[in-house]
Structure 1
Amino acid sequence: MKVVVIGGTGLIGSKVVSKLAAHDHEAVPASPDSGVNTLTGEGLAEVLKDASVVVDVSNSPSFADDDVMEFFRTSTTNLLKAEKEAGVTHHVALSVVGTDRLQESGYFRAKQVQEELIKDSGVPYSIVHATQFFEFMKGIAAGATKDDNTVHLAPIKIQPIYSDDVATAVGRAAIGEPVDGVFEVAGPDTFQLDELIRTGLEAKNDPRTVVADSKAPYFGAQLQETTLLPAADARVGETRFADWFAQQP
């Protein structure tokens, strides 16, 4: 089976390509570096020839509200059009748990538009909603750091997941039948966000102070305690955060 992975050289995409190839599927990574540009349409017809499945794990290079909306709207529209013309029978996209609850954020408004375009396209699809990756905790801390070297985070619940487990879920979706819907994946453990970041910084001897701030935004959106949590029927990854963290340099 030929599977084209849009964003196939990134964190998740490269893992998806490796996992599919290990099971003898023809996994083709596609990105601007390989001559495939979903914003302009360049290279799409060529790379999608004879493809059965397209996996889209690409992301906007800019998170500015207008830029990210333009990226997901244009990229997804071009990709779905090319898929129809090529006869692709399954579109798999990676999105985020809680997207519909985070619409104050320009990034998540754009992800919602992406999902709606997929659902309305007529191409059979599967949308994988993942919680925050373990690897994103550093970025969350950086984004919440104030000038006085304090990190303001809402004391809400979070159930992060290892990127490798996300890639496994995406790969399984790609070789399975389209669900024409959304399913969620999450890590095995639930934490309080500010406590998790505080523990991580202390373990790395990072001098920043973490402040529990119920009004602290998350990428522009206000959070309730369970905004970032998956539903009870989410598929759960195998890797525990503590085990992953212990292996980090």
Structure 2
Amino acid sequence: MIALVTGGTAGIGRQIAAKLRSAGLTVLITGRDQPRGAAAAADLGASFLPADHATIAGNLHLAERVRELAPHLDVLVNNVGGAAFTQRTVTAEGHEATLALNYLGPIVLTQALLPTLTADARIVQVVSSAFTMHPGDPFTEPARYTAISAYARAKQLNLLATMSLARQLTDRATVNAVNPGMAWTPGVQALTPEAVPAWRYIWPLVRMIQRRASPEKAARTPALLALHPTGTGQFYESDETAKSLPQRLRDPALQTRAWQTAVDLTAPRHIVDRPPNASEPTRKE
């Protein structure tokens, strides 16, 4: 079996990749840092593919490379993501960068890889409990930008689109979303109080809790869903428990709209064709 784990060079992604390798799978991992990626791949016995997950073109280039290397794909774990932009940032393709990294990128990559999926493929979308922090219309950007508000909205859209994809692939693949829980990863380590303003007064306490959170533990449920899924179209918490979504997020029309919006926004006319790692987000003035 062949698996692709995005963002698999460190943190939760690396731990997921390690678990899949231990189960005997051939594993491809992605990341932007070439030296770290090569070192991680050598340590894991995996193959490293450089990728710019923050752009549509970068994800399409990655899909093309995967198709060249792998005759088929049995497991896709869309792990890459994060609240990486303290200030509102726009990619070279014109998308808000947090939305592009956490929502548009995973959807366009998944869509591009659908032809390579085997008959019993497993797709795991790694989301976050932060999706509950966006109470409004997920298709409307919050008036006041913060990293966490942008991240919450993007992860909510990702979750909705994942539920739509599960219905589309009912007879072909298992598709599930999972909140892996807190983990002390490079992305979390890079956070500042400005990213989550509501936490600024308790920041030392937050950091103490975060430092104790294990990436290995956070990887357990995503890896389980990749290896031994028991159903499809479910949202799982980090304790391997399937949990019902809030009522408004269970609306099939809303879920379909989330999938179709990503497809429309990532159509060829929106893509800046650049090789991997060549495009850096630019800040909107």
Do 1:76 and 1:118's aligned partners in 2 also have CA atoms closer than 8 Å? no
Tell me which of 133, 144, 148 is aligned to 2:183. Answer: 133
Partner amino acid for 2:18?
Answer: S
Larger Rg: 1
Matches of 2:132 and 2:63 in 1, distance apart? 29
| CA distances 1:54-101 after superposition (whole Å, capped 9, x unpaired) | 001101553545210122333123112112121252210111125123
Alignment match, 2:16: 16
CA positional deviation for 1:37: 4.0
| Residues 1:95 and 2:118 are matched in the alignment | no
Alignment match, 2:108: 78
Aligned sequence identity (%): 15
Length, aligned pairs only: 184
Matches of 2:189 and 2:107 in 1, distance apart? 32
Structure-2 change in CA distance of 1:16 and 1:51 (3 Å): same
Q: How does 1:1-249 map to 2 (within 5 A)?
A: 1-32=1-32, 33=34, 34-38=49-53, 39-40=56-57, 41-48=60-67, 49=70, 50-60=72-82, 61-62=84-85, 64-65=87-88, 66-88=96-118, 89-103=121-135, 105-121=149-165, 122-123=168-169, 124-134=174-184, 142-143=192-193, 151-153=200-202, 161-177=213-229, 178-185=231-238
SS at match of 2:125: strand
Do 1:36 and 1:44's aligned partners in 2 also have CA atoms closer than 8 Å? no
Q: C-alpha root-mean-square deviation of aligned residues, in Å?
A: 3.5
CA positional deviation for 1:12: 1.2
Matches of 1:91 and 1:98 in 2, distance apart? 21
Matches of 2:218 and 2:24 in 1, distance apart? 20
Q: Structure 2: any 5+ residue segments left out of the alignment?
A: 35-48, 89-95, 136-141, 143-148, 244-285
Structure-2 change in CA distance of 1:127 and 1:108 (3 Å): same
Alignment match, 2:283: none
Structure-2 change in CA distance of 1:143 and 1:162 (3 Å): same
Do 2:180 and 2:219's aligned partners in 1 also have CA atoms closer than 8 Å? no
- The structure where helix makes up a greater share of residues is 2
Structure-2 change in CA distance of 1:182 and 1:153 (3 Å): same
Alignment match, 1:205: none
Partner amino acid for 1:125?
Answer: V
Matches of 1:165 and 1:181 in 2, distance apart? 20
Alignment match, 1:192: none
Matches of 1:8 and 1:138 in 2, distance apart? 17
Do 1:133 and 1:161's aligned partners in 2 also have CA atoms closer than 8 Å? yes
| CA distances 1:154-183 after superposition (whole Å, capped 9, x unpaired) | 999x89842111112211111112532101
Do 2:182 and 2:218's aligned partners in 1 also have CA atoms closer than 8 Å? no
